[in-house]
Chains A and B, each alone.
Chain A
Amino acid sequence: MSDHTPGEVREHGTTEPVEGRYVWVEYDGRPHRIYYEHAGDGDVPLLLLHTAGADSRQWRHVLNDPDVLDDFSVYAFDLPWHGRSFPPMDEGEDWRDGDYQLTTESYAGYIEAVVDVLGLENPVAMGCSMGGAIVLELAYAHADTFRGVVGVESTAFAPKRDIGYLDDPSVNAEVVRGEWAEGLQAPMSPQRYKRESWWVYAQGGPGVYTGDLYFYATDWDGREKVSDIDTDECGVHLLTGEYDYSALPEDTEFVGDRIDGATVEIMDDLGHFPMVENPKRFREYALPALSSLR
């Protein structure tokens, strides 16, 4: 086992145990070239889901965590339109002519398609923010695929998430998205980690963040669904940072109160991107949750 402490800077010449690959995935009749990272050879597959307008870089500390890699075979993929996954690869069709818009159905569909092509058997899914929302849908409607989910900053309903003007042509989205994302983190989280959120959010394609927010702030409403989740079929653990003002602790507690058998932890001194902003603190909460789903 590696003695690496997640979050620490590595020595010159260190190669991380993380491999990046591309896999072609057909969903809704359209071909997609999906980028994913993989680490670890544990018995249980663990699929990590990034936040709106971001990509799998957010999970780099979990992909390097020796305690996770011992037990799990970890996968983190970039949704189409995000990170190193292009928009759909259809010949002859110019995706710039349309608008990207994620829905509950398409988000769950992409995830199911990736699980299928990677051959992940009965995986755990851990997602943050909009990823923390879709894992509730996975536990509700896809419990035959997933053994359990960890929802990070999960809400059943988040109508306040889109503050408007994020796709206004007079607003420099490269800067404003980053500022908005950075402010969602806890003031005591180390700046050297928090600025990674700023950087990732500076790099999205036009309309992608707001297209994701269509799922998160408009299409997704799990308030009725969550009480029908059967945790004997699919375990549910919910972790939310006390400084998150997008997914408030009480929003997550609302969800936890309605799922028989779910656990809820409000994480001290953490905000909306806990795995990015303070990986050492986040793992104090994430490792027990993951361990219980092995």
Chain B
Amino acid sequence: MTQVLSETWLRDAADAVNDDDAFAKVSDGFEATVAFGVGGEDTAAVFEDGEMRVLGDAQFASWDFALRAPAATWRKMLAETPPPRHHDLVGAWLQADLTLEGDLRTALRHLQPLKRVLSVFREVGA
């Protein structure tokens, strides 16, 4: 079974994000490179021109901000019905063990498309 948020998982999820009409609607101006971390491994993905493109190992990329959490936390966040404190990106950051590091201003500026990405990730499934 593919590890949630691993590079392989993210490549499948990127296809779903790029097929998502709601992401297309809210992603104007969303230009950032994001490191998604799980279990000590970070995978970078670039968002630009309304698309998500997985770059690969984040240690070889210059990222704007990183979202990192243990696999168990990602699974809770991406559950069909997430438990309390895991149902929202900001909530998991403030009250669970998701970490948000780097350029917080850029992350919050693009909160709407970021949250849509997480919603699509939830549809892909953990």
Contact = CB atoms under 8 A, between A and B. Distances in A.
Contacts, number: 54
A1 interface: no
Interface stretch (A31-39, A203-211, A241-249): A241-249
A253 B22 CA distance: 39
12 contacts: A163-B94, A163-B108, A165-B105, A165-B108, A175-B111, A179-B112, A180-B90, A183-B89, A183-B90, A242-B84, A245-B85, A245-B88
B65 to A, nearest CB: 12
Contacts of A76: none
B112 A187 contact: no
A15 interface: no
Contacts of A171: 105, 108-109
Given A180-B111, A245-B84, A248-B95, A170 B89 contact: no
A184 interface: yes
A244 B84 CA distance: 7
Contacts of B84: 242-245
Nearest to A178: B112
B125 to A, nearest CB: 15
Contacts of B89: 183
Given A183-B88, A187-B81, A245-B95, A175 B105 contact: no
A176 B88 CA distance: 13
Contact of B112 (A170, A176, A184, A248): A176
A160 interface: yes
B102 interface: no
A291 interface: no
Interface string B77-101: 0000110110111110011000000
A186 B91 CA distance: 11
A119 to B, nearest CB: 42
Contact of A186 (B87, B90, B95): B87
Enumerate the 10 nearest inter-chain pairs by beta-carbon distance, A residue then B residue, closest first: A183-B88, A245-B91, A245-B95, A187-B87, A165-B108, A179-B111, A243-B84, A171-B109, A179-B112, A245-B85
B109 to A, nearest CB: 5
A227 interface: no
B72 interface: no
A196 B81 CA distance: 21
A164 B105 CA distance: 9
A183 B91 contact: yes
A213 to B, nearest CB: 14
Contact of A243 (B87, B90, B115): B87
Contact of B105 (A170, A184, A186, A245): A170
A276 B95 CA distance: 23
Contacts of A170: 105, 109
